[in-house]
């Protein structure tokens, strides 16, 4: 019988908190992380709101000098990894360092560093561009900097599949553990795209909410009056191990990472396929990987961005995968509180699935007021729900037609 892959550590910094405990408490209380942008002057833009990480001080997690040489998304990755490792009790030694992988993904990488260097190059000349620019902007920087910080010498890389990056990275780590390529993994994702360039670019695509004056009521996933997503930032990291190894060292096991599925729509560079066939196939693949059936699923953490195309396509995908059971399966979009953390969202939402299973509480979709006839499922409106579940799935769907689904099972 194949050894189960289990979660022994979790860490995060995100708009709802600088650790897992505070984040979860705010999430189930329905707290919104959305507020006016403070990271830059948004006056020239049409969007003035975002879900920023608040109160983050990189020197609390790493050497201050090194922090100045790292992009914000890399700082987030190290911070979340430190909590996850401390949480797990996994000691990294010369003997095991080469058998531990670091798969920390990012959809975009160091956008802030790239933006600042571009301005410097044009205004002050190329000689003023930082010599640390390349390691600050490269998408694998979060993984590389984390490996350096903790002395981890196994496979180290980043997966880039837009907003599915975090889930695909975790799924890749799962497969590497199942094949015996590594004995443990530090895996998740990190993103810091709340910059003038990032906000402007997503707004030009037509994806962003412009409820600047009424920001306490946006985004509105699955609601008829939704007007788009709100950009978020942060990082989430898991420690994964084989069950036998975790038990041998006396580790606390939070849950089993039971399955992973991934597909491509092959349809459009930004829009999901309106029938949701790719998303449905990924959900079925994840459940097959977990040796589970649709009847076993007690909760779906939806991608739920708050855009018309995504919400309706995902609803169709869930109906296609679950049939009549779709109407009996609780679903929520936690992006209604965290905003859309791009590549990092799937990793954070995997943690939410673990917490939902262990606490018997399903987080709500806040800001839900007016039902959309095309979105007719149970989206856990506005208030958390106490329900004991054994299996949850997390959907992550990205630009380019990437679909990634993780299945998390109660450990016993």
Active site residue 303: yes
From the candidates 156, 211, 273, 303, give the one annotated as an active-site residue: 303
pLDDT by residue (tens digit) across 208-248? Answer: 999 999 999 999 999 999 999 999 999 999 999 999 999 99
Contact 405, 395 (CB under 8 A): yes
Share of the chain above pLDDT 70, in %: 100
Q: What is the mean pLDDT of the chain?
A: 96
pLDDT at residue 393 in the model: 98
Structure tokens at 403: 């679909």
More reliable by pLDDT, 289 or 399? 289
The 3-state DSSP class for residue 123 equals: helix
Q: pLDDT at position 268, please?
A: 81
- pLDDT score, position 266: 83
- What count of other Cβ atoms lies within 10 Å of the Cβ of residue 301? 29
Q: What are phi and psi of 117, to 5 degrees?
A: -70, -35
Determine the Cα–Cα distance for residues 394 and 390; give it in Å rounded to an integer: 14
State the DSSP code for 274. T
Instruction: Work out the pLDDT band at 267, boundaries 50, 70, 90.
Output: confident
Residue 275 in this model has a pLDDT that exceeds 90: no
Q: What local confidence, expressed as pLDDT, does residue 355 receive? A: 98
Q: Could you give the CA distance from residue 242 to residue 183 in angstroms, rounded to a whole number?
A: 7
The confidence score (pLDDT) of residue 326 equals 98
Question: What pLDDT digit, counting tens, does each position of 56-83 carry?
Answer: 999 999 999 999 999 999 999 999 999 9
Task: Decide if 375 is catalytic.
Answer: no
Return the ∠ at Cα 227 (arms to 219 and 363), rounded to 5°. Answer: 25
Domains of the chain listed by start with CATH number: 5-248 (3.40.47.10), 259-409 (3.40.47.10)
In this prediction the pTM is 0.96
pLDDT of residue 110: 96
pLDDT tier at 1, thresholds 50, 70, 90: low
144 backbone dihedrals φ, ψ, rounded to 5°: -65, -45
270 pLDDT exceeds 70?
A: no
pLDDT of residue 400: 83
Measured between alpha carbons, how far is 382 from 367 in angstroms, rounded to an integer? Answer: 6
Judge whether 163 counts as a catalytic residue: yes
Cα-only R_g, the chain: 20
Residue 122 phi/psi, 5-degree rounding, is -80, -30
What is the per-residue pLDDT across 147-190, written as a single tens digit (0 to 9) for each? 999 999 999 999 999 999 999 999 999 999 999 999 999 999 99
Q: Which of 163, 211, 367, 375 is an active site residue?
A: 163
Residue 317 contacts residue 274 (beta carbons within 8 Å):
no
Q: Judge whether 224 and 370 are in contact, CB under 8 Å.
A: yes
The pLDDT tens digits of the residues spanning 322-348 come to 999 999 999 999 999 999 999 999 999
Alpha helices, DSSP H only, in 179-328? 196-204, 243-248, 277-289, 308-322
At residue 194, the pLDDT reads 98
SS3 state at 371: strand
Of these residues, 211, 273, 340, 402, which one is catalytic?
Answer: 340
Number of residues in the chain? 412
């Amino acid at each position: 019988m194949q050894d189960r892959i289990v979660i022994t550590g979790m860490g995060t910094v995100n708009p709802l908190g600088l650790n897992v405990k505070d984040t979860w408490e705010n999430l189930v209380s329905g707290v919104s992380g959305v507020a006016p942008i403070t990271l830059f002057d948004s006056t020239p833009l049409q969007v003035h709101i975002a879900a920023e990480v608040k109160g983050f001080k990189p020197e609390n997690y790493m050497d201050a000098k090194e922090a100045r040489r790292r992009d914000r998304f890399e700082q987030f990755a190290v911070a979340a990894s430190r909590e996850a490792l401390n949480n797990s009790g996994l000691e990294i030694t010369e003997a095991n360092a080469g058998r531990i992988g670091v798969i920390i993904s990012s959809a975009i990488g160091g956008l802030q560093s790239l933006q600042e260097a571009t301005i410097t190059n044009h205004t002050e000349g190329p000689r003023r561009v930082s010599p640390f620019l390349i390691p600050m902007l490269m998408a694998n920087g979060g993984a590389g900097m984390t490996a350096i910080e903790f002395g981890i010498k196994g496979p180290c890389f980043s997966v880039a599949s837009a907003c599915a990056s975090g889930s695909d990275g975790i799924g890749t780590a799962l497969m590497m553990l199942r094949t015996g390529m590594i004995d443990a993994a530090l895996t998740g994702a990190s993103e810091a795209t709340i910059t003038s360039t990032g906000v402007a670019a997503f707004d030009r695509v037509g994806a962003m909410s412009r409820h600047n004056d009424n920001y306490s009521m946006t985004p509105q996933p699955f609601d008829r009056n939704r007007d788009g997503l709100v950009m978020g930032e942060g990082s989430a990291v898991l420690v994964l191990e084989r069950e036998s190894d975790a038990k041998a060292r006396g580790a606390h096991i939070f849950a089993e990472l039971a399955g992973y599925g991934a597909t491509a729509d092959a349809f459009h560079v930004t829009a999901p396929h309106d029938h949701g066939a790719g998303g449905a196939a990924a959900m079925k693949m994840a459940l097959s990987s977990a040796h589970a059936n649709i009847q076993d699923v007690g909760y779906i953490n939806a991608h739920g961005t708050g855009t018309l195309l995504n919400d309706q396509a995902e609803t169709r995908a869930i109906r296609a995968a679950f049939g009549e059971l779709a109407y009996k399966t609780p679903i929520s979009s936690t992006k209604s509180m965290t905003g859309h953390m791009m590549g990092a969202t799937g990793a954070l939402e995997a943690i939410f699935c673990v917490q939902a299973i262990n606490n018997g509480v399903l987080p709500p979709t806040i800001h839900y007021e007016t039902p959309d006839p095309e979105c007719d499922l149970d989206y856990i409106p506005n208030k958390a729900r106490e329900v004991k579940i054994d299996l949850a799935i997390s959907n992550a769907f990205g630009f380019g037609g990437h679909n990634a689904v993780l299945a998390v099972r109660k450990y016993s």
